[in-house]
Amino acid sequence: MQAILAGAGELHHNLSPAQLVEKALLRGEVRLASNGAAVAATGKYTGRSPKDKYVVRDAWTAERVAWGSVNQPMEPEVAGALLDRVAAYLQGKELFVFDGAAGALERHQIRVRVITEFAWHNLFARNLLLRDPAGEGPFAHWNLIYAPGFQAVPERDGTRSEAFIVLDFSRQLVLIGGTRYAGELKKAVFTVMNGLLPDRGVMPMHCGANVGEQGDVALFFGLSGTGKTTLSADGNRRLLGDDEHGWADEGVFNFEGGCYAKTIGLSQEKEPQIWNAIRFGSVLENVVVNPQSRVPDYADGSLTENTRAAYPLEHIPGALAGGVAGHPRTIFFLSADAFGVLPPIARLDAEQAMYYFLSGYTSKLAGTERGVTSPEATFSTAFGEPFLPLPPQVYARMLGERITRHGVRVFLVNTGWIGGPYGVGRRIDLAYTRTLVRAALAGELEDVPWHREPHFGLLIPERCPGVPDSILNPKGMWDDGSAYDAKAAELARKFADNYRRFGEGAREPAAAAGRDA
């Protein structure tokens, strides 16, 4: 990396947010919104490009990584040649360096030096990674090089397209090029943590987390757009983090120093903490702003449905300083069900918890990945398969052990459609979801009657204070009960078909399959 830095035309180390915003404006990378946020457009790539991600095959990864469409191998000599080409491209260019870290618990922390071609990408890294890391930690220093202006040549560089995200565990290097979408930077570091931490007895998790007044910790697992950021940002509880955490012997700790929230449809009334967090020092990604007033239009998805805001945790009032809390008392699995058949909330036993964690059912929401233009039903094991280098059973086993050891309550929450599938039904009101989650956290659902629905074997509460009883019964929300049964049976078959990929050892629980538990 020293050769890259030594060859830079002008080098900027650890600039402040004000300096980075100034640089980004002078270089024409961003515009200022009326709320003070820097507004960037990412062009062709407005979401992650998972088919362009590679893991370098070496002695360490060869025996550990679950190779396949998620973790595509790249040979060391191919990665080395690509690195040389990127280094040559960066010679003489103005570069920005940020020294940060991932992992608030010092003994499980990795230090990351981020070298970017764009000032706004450096600001993004400064917002999302931890600043002023406490110490060297147990891991070697990693480097992340982000050169969006470099376009790979597939036949020469061994890539699928001009874009690439390469993770090299031997070199402790992440190499990104050909795409301006900043989420690649964030998720590349997350993938590194997911690869390293299990060997240290730490479970990495794709979840939001918050803490109640009594110190009770809640986790919110889910893929992008299912509500992790929104539900974990609760004015009645303290935010630990919105997306990436580790579960160690000491408790839960945040990997990040900021949040990366979807902003499509964002409203001050429903999501005041996120709304107010977007101010000077924040980054708005692909958000349309009024040309004259520069007021962001969060309802406008003309560039992409995957509009984003990146802001530091300190922009959230009451965010938990230090990023470390105790062991969870409650876990929520969030699924944006495009079939419209899952209940707004259901209680899971230990066996079902493992089933739904390994299944990781949700709907990919529009724009999160390239080519996704409307919600698509998908199964993403551990609610984060695109970011898991190791076999999914590694993470599931760690979660199961911790749920049992700490007596954690687990709920499945549908933040998606009710009353019909996507295009027919409607997305459940956020206010109802918040009320259900708060009731579960407060123990208000413990003494209400429950019934088991027939298709998935899920236990559904019949009452919840502040929520109409009719909302709780998914079949009753449909105009045609037989159409509901057909659609629910279709989704149940998809669950069963998907689960077979885990082999004979992954037994489908009776309740999850709709049989008597």
308 has catalytic annotation: yes
224 has catalytic annotation: yes
Q: Give backbone dihedrals phi and psi of 111, rounded to 5 degrees, phi first.
A: -90, 140
Percent of residues, the chain, with pLDDT higher than 70:
93
Catalytic residue among 42, 49, 179, 224: 224
Report pTM.
0.93
d(CA 365, CA 227): 11
At 101, the amino acid letter reads A
Write down the pLDDT at residue 512. Answer: 54
pLDDT band at 373, cuts 50/70/90? low
Catalytic residue among 23, 108, 121, 308: 308
429 has catalytic annotation: no
CATH number at residue 492: 3.90.228.20
pLDDT band at 91, cuts 50/70/90? very high
pLDDT at 371 over 80: no
Q: Is residue 222 part of a domain?
A: yes
> Is residue 364 located within the same domain as residue 484?
yes
Catalytic residue among 229, 230, 330, 433: 229
Whole domain around residue 242: which residue ranges?
204-257+321-502
Q: Is residue 79 part of a domain?
A: yes
State mean pLDDT over 230-249: 96
216 has catalytic annotation: no
- Residue-wise pLDDT for 399-452, tens only, equals 999 999 999 999 999 999 999 999 899 999 999 999 999 999 999 999 999 999
Q: Indicate the range of 135-139, 317-321, 476-480 predicted with least confidence.
A: 135-139
CB 205 within 8 A of CB 219: yes
> Is residue 155 located within the same domain as residue 136?
yes
Catalytic residue among 187, 262, 347, 487: 187
CA 443 to chain centre: 27
Which of 269, 450, 262 has its CA nearest to residue 345?
450
Q: At which of 160, 177, 200 does a domain end?
A: 200
Q: Is residue 478 part of a domain?
A: yes
CATH number at residue 159: 3.40.449.10
> Is residue 196 located within the same domain as residue 218?
no
> Is residue 140 located within the same domain as residue 224?
no
229 has catalytic annotation: yes
Q: What DSSP string describes 114-163?
A: EEESSHHHHHHHHHHSBSS-SS--SSPPEEEEEETT----HHHHS-SSS-
Q: What is the mean pLDDT of the chain?
A: 93
Q: Is residue 416 part of a domain?
A: yes
Q: Is residue 480 part of a domain?
A: yes
For the chain, the domain total comes to 2
pLDDT at 140 over 70: no
Catalytic residue among 53, 111, 121, 206: 206
> Is residue 473 located within the same domain as residue 351?
yes
> Is residue 169 located within the same domain as residue 21?
yes
d(CA 248, CA 328): 11
Q: Give bridge partners of residue 165 from the DSSP assignment.
A: 53, 176
Q: Is residue 288 part of a domain?
A: no
Catalytic residue among 228, 237, 402, 427: 228
Q: Is residue 281 part of a domain?
A: no
State mean pLDDT over 107-114: 94
> Is residue 116 located within the same domain as residue 245?
no
> Is residue 151 located within the same domain as residue 247?
no
pLDDT at 147 over 90: yes
> Is residue 191 located within the same domain as residue 227?
no
Q: Is residue 405 part of a domain?
A: yes
Q: At which of 180, 200, 220 does a domain end?
A: 200
Catalytic residue among 23, 42, 46, 48: 48
Catalytic residue among 52, 168, 242, 243: 243
86 or 371, which is more confident?
A: 86
Q: At which of 176, 200, 224 does a domain end?
A: 200
206 has catalytic annotation: yes
Q: Give backbone dihedrals phi and psi of 22, rounded to 5 degrees, phi first.
A: -60, -45
> Is residue 227 located within the same domain as residue 331?
yes
